[in-house]
Amino acid sequence: MSEKDREYFRIDVYNTPIALNASGHHYKGYVKDISANGIFFKLESDEQFTSCTCTFSLLKETFTIEAKFIRKEESGPSDYGYACTFENVNTKTHSKLM
């Protein structure tokens, strides 16, 4: 797989906890999948935000990354999915996510 392909290859990481900070509000949810360029996570509440700071752990490494909102998916009551793209990720962090 080429490096470019790995940037967009999504890894399922069900039930990995995520903490979000958006406009001074704090939320907790679960990551559904992740790539080197973005993340899809679930919250139990219907929220409106354009950007957030995401904190999550993968393989004993904790990441805190700025993200920009792309879309929201509603799967049912108390089941909201949010897709975000990572912003301003340094090369070292980007490599760890790949």
Q: What are the structural domains, with CATH classification, of the chain?
A: 3-88 (2.40.10.220)
Mean pLDDT of the chain: 85
Q: Identify the pLDDT of residue 78.
A: 83
The Cα 13–Cα 34 span in angstroms is 7
Strands (E), the chain: 11-22, 25-34, 38-43, 51-58, 61-76, 79-87
> Average pLDDT for residues 25-38, to the nearest whole number?
91
CA distance to 18, 69, 80, per residue, from 72 (Å)? 16, 8, 7
Q: What is the pTM of this model?
A: 0.82
pLDDT band at 75 (very low <50, low <70, confident <90, very high): confident
Percent over 90 (pLDDT), the chain: 52
Q: If 0-12 CB within 10 Å is exposed, 13-18 middle and 19+ buried, where does residue 29 land?
A: buried
Among 34-38, 52-56, 66-70, name the one with the lowest average pLDDT: 34-38
